[in-house]
Every structure is written in C-alpha cells, then in structure tokens.
C-alpha cells in the first residue's frame, strides 16, 4: 500500500505542476485554458462534430458551444458542412488557429524534452508504455 500511496502522491504532484505550467503559458495569451485545449484537440485530431469534440474535452455540448463561438469570433475556428453529411456541421481550425496550435504544441514538446533529458531511452520507452496503458483506463 505504501507504493500505491507514493504513486498517488507523485501523480498528484505531477498533475499540479503540469496544470500550473499550463496556466502560466496560457496566461501569456489572449485565450482561456479551455479555448487553448479546444484548439489543441482540433489541431491534433482535425475537423470533428461538436459532440465528438465535447466528448474529447470532457465537457457538455452547451459549454463547448460557448467556447467555439468565442473562437469563431476570434477567427481561430470555422464551422463547416460535414464532408459526407451535408446536414451535419464540423468545426475546424483556421490558418490562424493552426498557428496557435503549432506554437502551443512546440511549448509542450520543449517541456517534455526538458522533463525527460535525464532519463535513458529505455526509461522513456517504459514511461510511454505506462502512460499509454494508464490513458486507456480513462
């Protein structure tokens, strides 16, 4: 049980530090953390329906609609007709939204590079495997 408690403490500490880092990075922009996360998901996954995007973000479609409306007004997201279903709408990043995504993603890559600079390639592979397994549990 001591190892489980230690793992819990370490994961909580890592989450808190990562959240703090994310807040500080986003604070330097004109966008909220929720808006940046929306841009992040669209940048990684591409165009998607609002329901799909809401599920990926873990929010309701009503909450997401507010975020998307703001991002549309800011010129970072567009609503478009679904390519296979003309009745459906998808949201997609604009060119400016893509720039924001690439910039934010580069900050993440730099952070990961800094955090893993003292671990071996074998440890990095093990960490990747562990995180993939843990993420599947959600």
Assign 87 a pLDDT band (cuts: 50, 70, 90).
Answer: confident
To the nearest whole number, what is the mean pLDDT of the chain?
93
| Structure confidence at residue 63 (pLDDT) | 92
Tell me how far CA of residue 75 lies from CA of 52, 70, 79, 85, 92, in angstroms: 21, 9, 11, 24, 11
- The interaxial angle of helices 33-45 and 61-73, nearest 10 deg, is 90
Q: Which of 1, 7, 6 is nearest to 134 (CA)?
A: 7
Inform me whether the pLDDT recorded for 115 exceeds 80.
yes
pTM for this model (two decimals): 0.84
CATH number, span 31-136: 1.10.10.10
Assign 84 a pLDDT band (cuts: 50, 70, 90).
Answer: confident
Q: What is the pLDDT of residues 36-78, one digit of tens each?
A: 999 999 999 999 999 999 999 999 999 999 999 999 999 999 9
């Amino acid at each position: 049980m001591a190892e489980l408690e230690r793992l819990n403490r370490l994961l909580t500490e890592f989450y808190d530090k990562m959240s703090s880092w994310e807040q500080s990075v986003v604070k330097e922009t004109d966008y909220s953390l929720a808006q940046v996360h929306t841009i992040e998901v669209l940048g990684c996954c591409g165009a998607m329906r609002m329901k799909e995007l809401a599920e990926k973000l873990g929010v309701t479609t009503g909450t997401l609609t507010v975020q998307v409306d703001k991002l549309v007004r800011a010129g970072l997201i567009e609503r478009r007709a679904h390519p296979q279903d003309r009745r459906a709408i998808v949201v997609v990043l604009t060119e400016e939204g893509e720039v924001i995504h690439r910039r934010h993603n580069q900050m993440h890559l730099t952070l990961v590079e800094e955090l893993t600079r003292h671990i071996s390639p074998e440890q990095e592979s093990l960490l990747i495997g562990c995180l993939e397994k843990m993420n599947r549990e959600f």
